[in-house]
Amino acid sequence: MMAYGAHDTYLETTVRSSDPLDLTRLLYRTAIDSLRQAATAQRAGDIAGRGRQISRTQAILGELITTLDERQEISRRLAPLYEYLLHITQVAQIEQRPEPLDEARRLLETLLEGWQQVEFPGIPDAATAA
């Protein structure tokens, strides 16, 4: 119980001290990890584990969707992609196949690579801020 509480405290501190760009990257990394775990669970026949990880990924995608600003071009481009990612995670859940999970993970990894290159004025890069 103590370790779980420490993890929650660490996570809360990380979230509260992060800028929006870092939070976006954190969400992507967490979704990628969840998709990897879901595919592993599917291949191992752990249906409950797969379901938990897919639900976690879908919650993250939902959060990413709610943060989009429709006035911004990037948001208008990301919205259909996030919707597609939700769709293929649902397909993976219904059809009980890991391939859509792998596809979703690869897409998110590509997006994360792009977000790693983004710098906003006034928000120091994590590498230079350390």
Residue 128 lies in a domain: no
Per DSSP, the three-state class of 118 is coil
Residue 97 lies in a domain: yes
Domain that holds residue 84: 23-116
Domain count, the chain: 1
pLDDT tens-digit map of 101-112? 999 999 999 999
In this structure, what token pair is assigned to residue 86?
């939700």
Residue 124 lies in a domain: no
CA distance 104 to 123: 29
Residue 2 lies in a domain: no
pLDDT tens-digit map of 112-122? 999 999 876 55
Residue 32 lies in a domain: yes
Is 58 in contact with 82 (CB distance < 8 Å)? no
Residue 5 lies in a domain: no
Assign residue 34 the CATH number of its domain.
1.20.120.340
CA distance 41 to 30: 16
Q: What is the dihedral angle through the alpha carbons of 51, 54, 56, 62, rounded to the nearest 10 degrees?
A: -130
| pLDDT at 118 (0 to 100) | 82
